[in-house]
Chains A and B, each alone.
Chain A
Amino acid sequence: MAVKSVIEAVREAIREEMERDSKVFVIGEDVGIRGGVFLATQGLAEEFGNNRVIDAPLAEASIMGIALGAAFRGMRPIPEVQFSDFVWPSVNQLIGEAARTCYGTNGAVPVPMVIRMPYGGGIRGGLFHSQNVETHFFHTPGLKVVAPCTPYDAKGLLKSAIRDNNPVVFLEHKKTYRLVRGEVPDEEYTLPIGKADVKRQGSNLTVVSYGLTLHYCLEAAEELAAEGVDVEVLDLRTLSPLDTATILESVKKTGRLAVVHEDNITGGVGAEVAALAAGQAFEYLDAPIARICGPDVPTMPFAQTLEDAYMPTSDKIAEGLRRLAAY
């Protein structure tokens, strides 16, 4: 087993699936000759040709619409949105069309398509290179939303997403691309979409997160362990469909729940997780549910001070968990 970065895991997954199935192709801005701005598709144009790694004109709506149309014909396109911030011109094709196609054709037209998006902040990306966009897709029936945070999860889930017969929004936190490294099996494997993962076992409280902040939660859990608080860290991995069983099981075990994400707090994924616990594990809760999330400002700002003020860091999370444990 080799240690790899998230970006390497992503690249390997795409490469292996393109090799396995000639219907898989990549389309996006700068994905071909350059190999993507983050190099997620580096070397693929050379290996598979420009017909399967297509440098698209700089026009997101058509990238999504063309990918969708190709999916109608049975291909398995992987449109790349260069930064999730740039998805908005294509949102009609994604939320308005792709998510509704199977339902609107009574199942006659499946949409096997994976929309890859580097998302999130903490990289001085400012308002247009830091956005957390997941809530909009999480809210949309017909889409699946996957947000892994380790190389192992990224590879296994991306391979499953490519084989799925539905539009899957695949969110890759750009700060994890090279920062997070981990073991990835040499042999072929996939991971099921819709299954959360307990990244740290604990008995006193449950913290639910995904993406970059999952790593901050693990750091915070270590801090609290030194103070005698045993924190269970649950990585959602898939936001939609939400793994309600695993969340409820953990909450019932610990009796305390915190949800953590970088995305804005109001109406976010955490609100849904909180509603789930309040609705279906109310009798088990020993404390009010805590939400440690991005504040309700449009996006993480550019200046270091403002970015730091926005980001739910391990210190902020540890502080929130302490209060929860002490309640």
Chain B
Amino acid sequence: MPRKPTTRTRANSSNGANSQAKLPKGLKASDLVDYYTRLVQARSLDERIWMLNRLGKVPIAASSQGHEAAQLGSLLAAEKDGDCFLFPYYRDLALKVAAGLSPVQVMMSFMGKAGDPYSHGRQFPLQGADLPHKIIQISNVVAAGLTQSVGYALACRMAGDETVVLVYFGDGATSQGETHEAMNFASIHKLPVIFICENNRYAISTPQSAQMVVEEVASRAASYGFPGFTVDGMDLIQCYEATREAITHARAQGPVLLEMMVKRFMSHTTDDDDRRYRPEGEVERARERDPVITFARTLIEEGMLTQKMVDEIAAETLRSTDEATDVADVSSPPDASNLHDSVYSP
């Protein structure tokens, strides 16, 4: 990846299909089928969680529907690299699910059960830490994770390891001062951090035009002297390739800003109603590029999947979601005596 203080934008595919041609570098067909399966599983859980919210069983959820290709494409690159640490944000449901949680663990977290692997029912779903899968996300204060991720990368360098840190955030978080502070520090010290902006052009209801005057968040990288790229966040393979290159660059030369253009299919959270602020038809048009559909189409065209396999994956993931829902529903919440535990570390 060239180190230049300019933005290179890759054009979105005009026909709505995903990247074609042969297998991306470093991947086997089975990797893509595996990730398609994870994508469908994440979507299935995501949809079920909203249903459970309406049934009063899940107090709050932020959906990743429409963001999955960006999250899973970058995760795939991190997983293939093998030495990455992730600082996701609150909309990274698919990322956190696909990183290795079982559907039961996911449902435990959303229902606030004792089996919640992230925080034991203390935090909003899938917030806290999932250290076995190299993930930390502490809070909902956007951009707070950016400076933390930079500090993590600094510590990795001090400890002498080669870890690359991937930190995720929305376009809204780029308005925070800490985004600037994090990028500036990472640049000064050439730290191996990949700043991944999942740009859906909305900060809850506030459109990008009310947050910034630049068209592309990636263009801001120039002011820090590191490369910034805008990629099609609806295209899992393109996100994989961009992240893979970014990992190589980060380890050798320092930070990279990747802006992944995504679509938010759902309201901000289960407590929001986006009909109040989104133009009619916008979500429907966005869904024409739903990665669950377009990725399957690509894999079928490439001969890696058949329609029959796609149907089987859909049925199997739905069965897992059903089972997970049932298991979590009857499992125990944290005991009230836990209230005072872990305020301090021993």
Q: Which of A38-46, A58-66, A123-131, A246-254 contacts B (4 or more CB under 8 A)?
A: A58-66
A65 touches B148 (CB 8 A): yes
Interface hub of A25, A77, A103, A166 (most chain B Cβ within 10 A): A103
Q: C-beta contact mask, A49-93 vs B, less than 8 Å → 1, else 0?
A: 001100011010110111111111111010000000000010011
A103–B342 alpha-carbon span in the complex (Å): 5
A66 touches B151 (CB 8 A): yes
Q: Which of A105-113, A203-211, A273-281, A287-295 contacts B (4 or more CB under 8 A)?
A: A105-113
A96 interface contact, C-beta 8 A: yes
A197 interface contact, C-beta 8 A: no
B154 touches A97 (CB 8 A): no
B152 touches A73 (CB 8 A): yes
A104 interface contact, C-beta 8 A: yes
B131 interface contact, C-beta 8 A: yes
A107–B342 alpha-carbon span in the complex (Å): 5
Closest chain B CB from A36 CB (angstroms): 19
Which chain A residues lie closer than 8 Å to B155 at the CB level? 69-75
Closest chain A CB from B108 CB (angstroms): 13
B178 touches A102 (CB 8 A): no
B336 interface contact, C-beta 8 A: no
A92 touches B144 (CB 8 A): yes
A97 touches B128 (CB 8 A): no
Interface residues on A, range: 35 or more
Closest chain B CB from A283 CB (angstroms): 29
A28 interface contact, C-beta 8 A: no
A72 touches B152 (CB 8 A): yes
Which chain A residues lie closer than 8 Å to B131 at the CB level? 108-109
Which chain B residues lie closer than 8 Å to A66 at the CB level? 147-148, 150-151, 154, 185
Which chain B residues lie closer than 8 Å to A110 at the CB level? 345
B151 touches A69 (CB 8 A): yes
A59–B150 alpha-carbon span in the complex (Å): 14
Closest chain B CB from A195 CB (angstroms): 16
Which chain B residues lie closer than 8 Å to A106 at the CB level? 119-120, 122, 128, 341-342
A102–B128 alpha-carbon span in the complex (Å): 9
Assuming the A-B contacts A51-B158, A57-B181, A166-B345, are A70 and B152 also in contact, with contact meaning beta carbons closer than 8 angstroms in the complex? yes
Considering only CB atoms, which chain A residue lies closest to B152 in the complex? A69
Interface hub of A56, A107, A108 (most chain B Cβ within 10 A): A108
Closest chain A CB from B276 CB (angstroms): 29
Q: C-beta contact mask, B252-269 vs A, less than 8 Å → 1, else 0?
A: 000000000000000000
Which chain B residues lie closer than 8 Å to A166 at the CB level? 344-345
Which chain A residues lie closer than 8 Å to B141 at the CB level? 92, 96-97
Assuming the A-B contacts A73-B156, A74-B159, A104-B123, are A57 and B188 also in contact, with contact meaning beta carbons closer than 8 angstroms in the complex? yes
B177 interface contact, C-beta 8 A: yes
B199 interface contact, C-beta 8 A: no
Docked complex: B84-132 residues within 8 A CB-CB of A: 118-120, 122-123, 127-129, 131
From B119, B147, B177, B341, A69 is in contact (CB under 8 Å) with B147
Which chain A residues lie closer than 8 Å to B344 at the CB level? 102, 142, 144, 165-166
Closest chain A CB from B125 CB (angstroms): 13
Closest chain B CB from A193 CB (angstroms): 11
Which chain B residues lie closer than 8 Å to A89 at the CB level? 177
From A52, A97, A108, A142, B148 is in contact (CB under 8 Å) with A97
A136–B121 alpha-carbon span in the complex (Å): 27
A141 interface contact, C-beta 8 A: yes
B147 touches A111 (CB 8 A): no
Which chain A residues lie closer than 8 Å to B178 at the CB level? 61-62, 65
Assuming the A-B contacts A74-B155, A100-B139, are A69 and B181 also in contact, with contact meaning beta carbons closer than 8 angstroms in the complex? no
Closest chain B CB from A23 CB (angstroms): 8
A52–B158 alpha-carbon span in the complex (Å): 8
Closest chain A CB from B297 CB (angstroms): 40
A60–B328 alpha-carbon span in the complex (Å): 42
Closest chain B CB from A39 CB (angstroms): 24
Considering only CB atoms, which chain A residue lies closest to B153 in the complex? A69
A59 touches B128 (CB 8 A): no
Assuming the A-B contacts A51-B158, A106-B120, A108-B129, are A96 and B151 also in contact, with contact meaning beta carbons closer than 8 angstroms in the complex? no
B37 interface contact, C-beta 8 A: no
A73–B188 alpha-carbon span in the complex (Å): 20
Assuming the A-B contacts A72-B136, A93-B144, A105-B129, are A62 and B181 also in contact, with contact meaning beta carbons closer than 8 angstroms in the complex? yes
Which chain A residues lie closer than 8 Å to B128 at the CB level? 104-106, 108-109
B343 interface contact, C-beta 8 A: yes
Which chain B residues lie closer than 8 Å to A299 at the CB level? none
A68–B144 alpha-carbon span in the complex (Å): 10
B151 touches A97 (CB 8 A): no
Which chain B residues lie closer than 8 Å to A74 at the CB level? 155, 159
Q: C-beta contact mask, A243-272 vs B, less than 8 Å → 1, else 0?
A: 000000000000000000000000000000
A67–B120 alpha-carbon span in the complex (Å): 25
B345 touches A68 (CB 8 A): no
Considering only CB atoms, which chain A residue lies closest to B344 in the complex? A166
A25–B189 alpha-carbon span in the complex (Å): 16
Closest chain B CB from A146 CB (angstroms): 14
From A59, A73, A107, B159 is in contact (CB under 8 Å) with A73
Which 10 residue pairs across A and B have the least CB separation, nearest first?
A69-B151, A65-B147, A62-B181, A73-B155, A110-B345, A66-B151, A69-B148, A107-B342, A106-B120, A70-B155
Residues of B within 8 A of A (CB): 118-120, 122-123, 127-129, 131, 136, 138-139, 141, 144, 146-156, 158-159, 177-178, 181-182, 184-185, 188, 341-346
Give 11 new A-B contacts, CB below 8 A, not counting A69-B154, A105-B118, A166-B345: A61-B178, A62-B178, A62-B184, A66-B151, A66-B154, A68-B148, A72-B148, A97-B148, A105-B138, A107-B341, A110-B345
Residues of A within 8 A of B (CB): 25, 51-52, 56-57, 59, 61-62, 64-75, 77, 89, 92-93, 96-97, 100-112, 141-142, 144, 165-166
